[in-house]
Amino acid sequence: MGTTLNPDPGVRVKVSVIASRAPPLSCQYPGMTVIETAIASVRARQVLDSRGNPTVEVDVRLADGSLGRAAVPSGASTGAAEAVELRDGDPERFHGKGVATAVGNAAGVLADAVRGLDAVDQAGVDAALIACDGTPDKGRLGANAILGVSLATAKAAAAAQGKPLYRYLNPAATRLPLPMINIVNGGAHADNPLDFQEFMVAPIGATSLFEAVRIGSEVFHTLRRALATAGHNTNVGDEGGFAPQFTTAGEALAFVTEAIAAAGYEPGTDVAICLDPAASEFYKGGVYEYAGEGVSRSVAEHIDHLADLLRRYPIVSIEDPMAQDDIEGWRALTERAGAATQLVGDDVFCTDARRLQAGIDGGYANAILVKVNQVGTLTEALTTVDVARKAGYRVVMSHRSGETEDTTIADLAVATGCGQIKTGSVSRSDRTAKYNRLIRIEEELGGRAEFTTAY
């Protein structure tokens, strides 16, 4: 038995295997065939995310020495059906948010389950991880532990082949995603009264990823000046957008629309607006409680309110416009606005192919937000993307509010050719790391790079 390499100081977590126990290649029996991409060792540690909370980071090393490393993101506004993120609950360490147990599981029982498997067989590795946990929601060992091993395995396999992750996952990948750039935060991502969680700009008139980022940056800084001039603070929220003391969506949308124009762009033609109300957060007792506005809206009134915003502002996409358990509301809004507006299911689908299929069959939403930590393995996330694509649903690859410098989702957006990405604002290095990764990928692709807007 051994201990994890970096649990919370003072806590020793017993596990059955750690990286140092991996046998060297010289220990192979004479005549044995060595699979160079076999998983030789798994290490795990606690690192900090963008909110200063611990999260799981995993290293997977292969028999040929190739290394893959992945850090797992964490959400604040979470769907009820998400895979379970395992936290220690010890109030004496990280205020109960430690992940030493998940780290021990990654380096212990999960390492045992995958050691010796061929990393190139991602589906086989992920199946072994799922079977090892044995629960529908990955709550026994933790989706954060499982996902860390899953993503690190893919990155190790890519390293073994000398390829970037996007190219390893899809040799034909050439499409860069249109970014949805967060510039105003509210809801669970800020301390202001704003009920809606995210207000984003999508540079739909851009002709390249780099130009889209440039335009987003210009609008962001123009909005900063406008907020300061109007007497608002310009501090940023969890995802890098500003968090002024707005109380209504209309107030935020007016500022954003004016900033687009002031930056020299045509609202709705050069730059469109995307919303994430995160409606599950304020749906209570069958009504939508707008605490910031001090009003309650019935389902029908809430839909009317969204329709009014769509009429008044250049909004092309709304994520989680209805609560995750307000299925009739979802159907009604989809019938009313779905032909002209992208309606993205996040909490209602939780990156789960079965839940997505229910939406497809039930006629609600027309797009899905994909967050790998909602479902817990890379294979399951890619399966969900495939189900969406076959049904004609659009796909948006997404970060979480608690992020790290890990840029895996940038590669996944390119590998899947999904065409859209949410990775926060053009501030905070945990967010800009993803944009910078996409800029580098666009440069690597050169003349093969494709950038087309999804609207």
Is 347 flagged in the annotation as binding?
Answer: no
Please tell me whether 324 is known to bind a ligand.
no
**400 labelled ligand-binding:** yes
DSSP per-residue codes, 320-345: S-S-TT-HHHHHHHHHHHTTTSEEEE
User: How far is Cα 234 from Cα 224, in angstroms, rounded to an integer?
Assistant: 6
Q: What tokens were used for 249?
A: 């969506």
390 a known binding residue?
A: no
Taking CA atoms, 77 is separated from 8, 82, 252, 280, 434, in Å, by: 26, 11, 20, 9, 21
Tell me how far the alpha carbon of residue 274 is from its chain's centroid.
16
Catalytic member of 371, 403, 434, 442: 371
198 marked as part of a ligand binding site: yes
Strands 272-276 and 315-319 turn out to be parallel
Task: Check the annotation: does 346 bind a ligand.
Answer: yes
Are 161 and 168 in contact, with CB atoms under 8 Å apart?
Answer: yes
Q: Are 236 and 189 in contact (CB under 8 A)?
A: no
401 has binding-site annotation? yes
CA 120 and chain centroid, separation:
24
Q: Is 305 annotated as a binding residue?
A: no
Residue 44's identity, in one-letter code, is A
> Is 239 a residue of the active site?
yes
Q: Which residues contact 443 (CB under 8 A, 6 or more apart)?
A: none
Q: Is 319 annotated as a binding residue?
A: yes
251 a known binding residue?
no
Looking at the DSSP bridge assignments, the partners of residue 344 are 319, 367
Annotated active-site residue in 57, 218, 239, 403? 239
Distance (Å, rounded) from C-alpha 46 to C-alpha 354? 32
**DSSP 8-state code for residue 232:** -
Enter the tokens of residue 282: 């304020």
Amino acid identity for residue 436 in this structure: N
422 is in an annotated binding site: yes
H-helix segments, 108-237: 109-114, 122-133, 143-160, 165-169, 209-229
Phi, psi (degrees; rounded to nearest 5) at 44: -145, 155
> Cβ-count burial of 47 within 10 angstroms (0-12 exposed, 13-18 middle, 19+ buried)?
middle
Residue 238, annotated as binding a ligand: no
For the annotated catalytic residues, the residue numbers are 239, 371
Known binding-site residue numbers for (2R)-2-phosphoglycerate: 197, 371, 400-401, 422
Residues belonging to the binding site for Mg(2+) are 276, 319, 346
Q: Binding site for substrate: residue ranges?
A: 189, 198, 319, 346, 398-401, 422
Binding-site residues, in ranges, read 189, 197-198, 276, 319, 346, 371, 398-401, 422
